[in-house]
């Protein structure tokens, strides 16, 4: 006759293994689903990062493109207009200078009528003249 103690111990062990297996199977399924979701999200993030990088390079090329000198043909320069446009955009002379591609001191000198821009610089001013406040801020972010 088998030992009752041994039979009871084996039965308890068998039932415990069955319970553990059921609990771990649910965790395995949940873990597999989570890994699948994480992988899909990683692919989505990689795709979005690739798209953002592409758009940033396109926008940077557009912003840093130097205007041709002939775009300034017929354009006039006015220190008063320059000062008022800079104030309208809410920019400091240093920030406005970054947009135009000159130094902040040059902007101050132009506004104080101590000097006048060259033809190439007038072309840059014509390009900046067409910017609104949002576009100017966006270009400054790209230039920094």
Q: Are residues 10 and 56 in the same domain?
A: yes
Token match 């990062």: residue?
49
Same domain (yes/no): 126, 114 = yes
Do both 73 and 137 map to the same domain?
Answer: yes
Model pLDDT, residue 72: 60
Quote the CA–CA distance of 124 and 86 in Å, as a whole number.
14
pLDDT in tens, 22-68: 889 989 999 999 999 999 999 999 999 999 999 888 887 776 666 56
Higher pLDDT, 67 or 4: 4
Longest dimension (CA), the chain: 116
Query: What is the C-alpha end-to-end distance of the chain, expressed in Å?
Result: 88
Number of domains in the chain: 2
pTM: 0.54
Domain termination residue (choose one: 16, 33, 65): 65
pLDDT digits (tens, 9 = 90+) for 73-100: 677 888 899 999 999 999 999 999 998 8
Question: Domain boundary at 13, 35, 65, which?
Answer: 65
Inter-helix orientation angle 133-143/4-64, to 10°: 110
One domain, residues 1 and 58: yes
Enclosing domain of residue 2: 1-65
The CATH number linked to 90 is 1.10.260.40
Tell me the CA distances in angstroms from 89 to 36, 93, 114, 128, 130, one per residue in order. 49, 11, 23, 10, 11
């Amino acid at each position: 006759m088998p030992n009752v103690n041994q039979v009871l111990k084996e039965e308890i062990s068998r039932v415990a293994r069955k319970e553990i297996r059921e609990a771990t199977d649910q965790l395995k399924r949940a873990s597999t689903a989570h890994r699948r979701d994480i992988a899909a999200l990683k692919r989505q993030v990689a795709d979005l990062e690739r798209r953002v990088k592409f758009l940033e390079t396109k926008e940077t090329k557009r912003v840093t493109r130097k205007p041709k000198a002939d775009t300034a043909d017929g354009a006039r320069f006015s220190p008063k207009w320059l000062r008022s446009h800079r104030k309208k955009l809410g920019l400091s002379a240093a920030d406005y200078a970054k947009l135009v591609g000159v130094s902040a001191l040059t902007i101050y000198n132009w506004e104080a009528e101590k000097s006048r821009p060259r033809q190439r610089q007038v072309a840059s001013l014509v390009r900046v003249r067409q910017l609104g406040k949002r576009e100017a801020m966006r270009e400054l972010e790209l230039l920094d």
